[in-house]
Amino acid sequence: MKVLNARVEALLTTENPENFVTSRVPQIDLMYEGIPGDRHFGYTKLSNGRERMYPRGTEIRNRRQVSILSQEECDEAARRLGIKTIKPEWLGANMVISGFPSLSQLPSGSRILFPSGASLYCEGENFPCIYPGQIIQSYYEDIPKLPQRFVKEAYGLRGIVCSVEREGEIRPDSTIDIYVNLEWQGRNWVEGGTGCEVQ
């Protein structure tokens, strides 16, 4: 595995589990079920449109306990949409990192380790959907069709979803170690913002 570094810029969670939008918090105490109080907390979840191989509402393992965004990818998505900014809160993010501009291409099986010893296991890319685009639209009412455009323009920039591999405290302004899985599906990691390429 290759080890790269990044910085935690912000931590977020949902104040109301029924609400998609997140709010910034000073720290998070990761548990094996995820982030206490967050809408994605739990060992299991009910399947939805992302898991079409199961009837909707089937109980399955929760591989979406924590969602992470790259600040650089958020900025690029905003640029593509022609808007000033996309706040990670609007995307329901739990963490924002900087210094890792191709986070969305981080291979499954990679790990993120924090100074406390807490760690996250990368389950894969978080693909964009229309709902965050609707929230973005509410802040830019004069720009048409943002929900539909968000799905297209944010593809490959939406970050990753993770499960908790080791419990512990995480805080903003921390330096994290990212252990890149170099053996994922015959792909090699390419530094410099290009992510992974198939050999």
Q: What is the domain-level CATH number for residue 80?
A: 2.40.33.20
Total number of domains constituting the chain:
1
pLDDT for the residue 184: 58
Under the banding of pLDDT at 50, 70 and 90, the label for residue 82 is very high
Q: Note the pLDDT tens digit of each residue in 34-67.
A: 999 999 999 999 988 888 899 999 999 999 999 9
Name, in order, each residue with C-beta under 8 angstroms of 41's C-beta and a sequence gap of 6 or more.
17, 31, 33, 34, 35, 65
**Residues paired with residue 187 on neighbouring β-strands, in sequence order:** 198
How confident is the model over 22-33, as a mean pLDDT? 97
- The number of C-alpha atoms within 13 Å of 125 and in the hemisphere containing its C-beta is 17
Under the banding of pLDDT at 50, 70 and 90, the label for residue 196 is very low
pLDDT for the residue 128: 87
How confident is the model over 114-133, as a mean pLDDT? 95
> How many whole angstroms separate alpha carbon 40 and alpha carbon 33?
9
> How many whole angstroms separate alpha carbon 15 and alpha carbon 28?
13
CA angle 13, 184, 43 (to 5 degrees): 35
Give the domain range for residue 22. 2-198
The CA–CA distances, whole Å, from 96 to 25, 28, 51, 113, 129 equal: 12, 13, 25, 15, 19
pLDDT for the residue 19: 81
> How many whole angstroms separate alpha carbon 199 and alpha carbon 196?
9
Instruction: Return phi, psi of residue 163, to 5°.
Output: -115, 160
Report the percentage of the chain scoring pLDDT > 70: 92
Q: Note the pLDDT tens digit of each residue in 159-194.
A: 999 999 999 999 999 999 999 998 755 555 455 544
Q: Note the pLDDT tens digit of each residue in 32-41.
A: 999 999 999 9
Torsion (CA) 108, 164, 17, 45 in degrees, nearest 10: 70
- The mean pLDDT value of the chain amounts to 91
Residue 197 and residue 187 in contact, taking contact as beta carbons nearer than 8 Å: yes
